[in-house]
Amino acid sequence: MVHKNFAVALLAATVGACSQMPNKGSSPEREAAEAPERKIASSTTISTPEPEEEALPPTDIWERLRRGFRLNHRVDNTKVQDYIAYFSRNEGYMARVSERSRRYIFHVVEELEEANLPLELALLPIVESAYDPFAYSHARASGMWQFIPSTGRSFGLQQNWWYDGRRDVHESTRAAVKYFNYLMERFDGDWELALAAYNAGEGTVRRAVERNRRKGLGTSFWDLKLPRETKRYVPQLLALAEVVSRPDYYKVPLHDIANEPYYARVDVGSQIDMAQAAELAEIEVDELYLLNPGYNRWATDPNGNHQLLIPIENQDVFEAALKELPENQRVTWQRYTINRGDTLSTIARRYQTTVSAIRETNKLRNNNIRAGKTLLIPSASGPAGQYAYALDQRVKRRQSSGQGQKSSYTVRPGDSLWAIARKMNVSVKQLASWNSMAPGDTLRPGRTLVAYDGSTPASNNRTTRKVSYKVRSGDSLYRIANKFSIEIDDILRWNKITKSKYLQPGQRLTLFVDSASNS
């Protein structure tokens, strides 16, 4: 995760691209490429070297990565070897994370190349989040680059009720690139120390370096006393890079990903309902959320920059349909008559919106409202289940995933997670996990938390049903498995197919789905 403790003043400084790089990882192909032959005609006459044939552009993203690898992969280091062995044994994991990266990795590589950074960094989201933009850690780190709130804000990632820039694929990648440049400069081009600082925090690494310096000890990453997670972090990335550099040798399958853009950025110009936007783009709502995970709710941020990422093959149809739809029809509106005892906050919660959005829509100067008056409320056009990746729906799924007898608690003013955990006779860590929280998150009165006593396995209260699923355009094994909360290996086994066989639109798959899954 990204822990940051650095002077805010330094963020304003212009950080140059990488001018010092560690030794490149070696491979027979690279060594041959770096030693072109020169032809000598005689002792007195030197012939003009024949122009080298221009290298063909890489056909897939993995070859492009290999060409941009610059770090020493430390293949003789025992910790790196341990992780190489781990990834070689867990080929299913590598297949899943490479498949999950297919929407994002081309654009990550583009940003890294533009900043002249080593392309091993494109593999860092595997270490951080398994390339899951919805990942959230116990330390409040979010998104595929795992920024904590304070550092996200320091690098311009906005965070509010509607939107979290730490999960925004495009913006968080830009922020990560800026942070890499900052750390590279602070650690004089030592990428192993810079990566350790990305994980543990700049201050933690600097203090470790100073301790060793005072003792006359080595100050490389491998010499330092650092947190256990950080000591594993750098070897894991180097091992990943080594495995990607020679996947056939290590017998590690990588999902085929073309070296071409997956999405285009479209300026919508106003707030828009996510379900409506998906319909205009002729894609599934889930696909739109997976490309735009920064949006927390059923619509884009009313006060945001109104950018949406759209699959590039759907860009033209989306932009054409969008032109035909007036801005005042891009969100559904409901008229609400104020009842006695209502407040803007209770109305906002009821309609899954914010007080500020209601005030702005109705041109209210303050929060005072009067019974009998009518408010215009922006609201979702479809049922809640249609917005499966919206924050509240993800929380509900997580709250339903525990085992045992379920109990709930409504947060009151003055409550703390520690006090609630004691009342519910569970640990703070367990309570936070069941409710998609981190222990340090702010509790809001009115929120419902759940806990499980573990006495009854959840499977006792669930049934499995057989589903015939019709493959749609753009579907993948990962997407289908994620949609039904099942494993890719199970889909392969149930349908007697292999990972190497492409799914075809219209193809029927047999699935055995938990009755509680969001299908």
Give the span between the Cα atoms of 239 and 74, in whole angstroms: 8
63 lies in the same domain as 184: yes
Which one is catalytic: 31, 50, 63, 128?
Answer: 128
Q: pLDDT tens digits for the chain (519 residues)?
A: 665 444 333 333 333 333 333 333 333 333 333 333 322 233 233 444 455 556 778 889 999 999 999 999 999 999 999 999 999 988 888 888 988 999 999 999 999 999 999 999 999 999 999 999 998 887 788 999 999 999 999 999 999 888 999 999 999 999 999 999 999 999 999 999 999 999 999 999 999 999 999 999 999 999 999 999 999 999 999 999 999 999 999 988 888 899 999 999 999 988 898 999 999 999 999 999 999 999 998 889 888 878 999 999 999 999 999 998 888 888 877 888 988 888 888 888 788 788 888 887 788 888 888 888 888 887 777 776 778 777 777 777 777 767 777 888 888 888 888 888 888 888 887 788 788 777 777 787 878 888 887 533 333 334 456 778 888 877 788 778 777 777 777 788 788 887 767 788 888 888 877 544 443
3-state secondary structure of 486: coil
Q: What is the bridge-based pairing of β-strands 464-470 and 448-452?
A: unpaired
Give the span between the Cα atoms of 21 and 71, in whole angstroms: 8
Query: Is 391 within a domain?
Result: no
Query: Is 96 within a domain?
Result: yes
Q: Are 102 and 223 in contact (CB under 8 A)?
A: no
206 lies in the same domain as 100: yes
Query: Is 36 within a domain?
Result: no
373 lies in the same domain as 421: no
What pLDDT was estimated at residue 465?
Answer: 64
Query: Is 91 within a domain?
Result: yes
Residue 24 DSSP class: P
232 lies in the same domain as 113: yes
What pLDDT was estimated at residue 457?
Answer: 34
3-state secondary structure of 333: strand
Q: Side-chain half-sphere of 60: how many Cα atoms within 13 Å?
A: 10
12 lies in the same domain as 83: yes
CATH number of the domain where residue 155 is located: 1.10.530.10
What pLDDT was estimated at residue 51?
Answer: 52
Task: Supply 255's token pair.
Answer: 């999902």
Q: Are 421 and 431 in contact (CB under 8 A)?
A: yes
Instruction: Give the domain extent around 349.
Output: 332-380
What pLDDT was estimated at residue 2?
Answer: 62
442 lies in the same domain as 487: no
Query: Is 48 within a domain?
Result: no
Q: What is the bridge-based pairing of β-strands 448-452 and 374-379?
A: unpaired
Q: How many domains does the chain have?
A: 5
Query: Is 447 within a domain?
Result: yes
Helix (H) or strand (E) holding 281: helix 274-281
Task: Supply 403's token pair.
Answer: 């085992």
Look at residues 61, 185, 202, 181 and name the one whose alpha carbon lies nearest to residue 123. Answer: 61
408 lies in the same domain as 311: no
CATH number of the domain where residue 409 is located: 3.10.350.10
What pLDDT was estimated at residue 191?
Answer: 96
Q: Are 125 and 135 in contact (CB under 8 A)?
A: no
Strand partners, 333: 378
143 lies in the same domain as 224: yes
How does DSSP assign 492-508, residue by residue?
HHHHT--TTSPP-TT-E
Taking the alpha carbons of 323, 324, 328, 329 in that order, is the dihedral positive or negative? negative
434 CB burial (10 A radius; 0-12, 13-18, 19+) = buried
Q: What is this structure's pTM?
A: 0.70
Annotation says 128 is catalytic? yes
Among 204, 227, 250, where does a domain finish?
250
22 lies in the same domain as 87: yes
Query: Is 258 within a domain?
Result: no
313 lies in the same domain as 363: no
Among 380, 410, 441, where does a domain finish?
380
Give the span between the Cα atoms of 151 and 252, in whole angstroms: 35
Among 419, 436, 458, where does a domain finish?
458
Give the span between the Cα atoms of 134 and 149, in whole angstroms: 14
How does DSSP assign 406-437, residue by residue?
EEEEE--TT--HHHHHHHTTS-HHHHHHHTT-
Q: What is the 3-state secondary structure (H, E, C) of 452-480?
A: ECCCCCHHHHCCEEEEEEECCCCCCHHHH
Task: Supply 43's token pair.
Answer: 């002792």
Task: Supply 428's token pair.
Answer: 């703070």
448 lies in the same domain as 407: yes
Give the span between the Cα atoms of 127 and 487, in whole angstroms: 21
Give the span between the Cα atoms of 41 and 38, in whole angstroms: 10
Query: Is 342 within a domain?
Result: yes
Give the span between the Cα atoms of 430 and 428, in whole angstroms: 5
Task: Supply 175's token pair.
Answer: 């922020």
Calculate the alpha carbon distances from 198 to 149, 191, 288, 352, 484 in Å: 14, 10, 30, 35, 34
What is the maximum span of the chain, computed from C-alpha positions, in angstroms? 102
311 lies in the same domain as 368: no
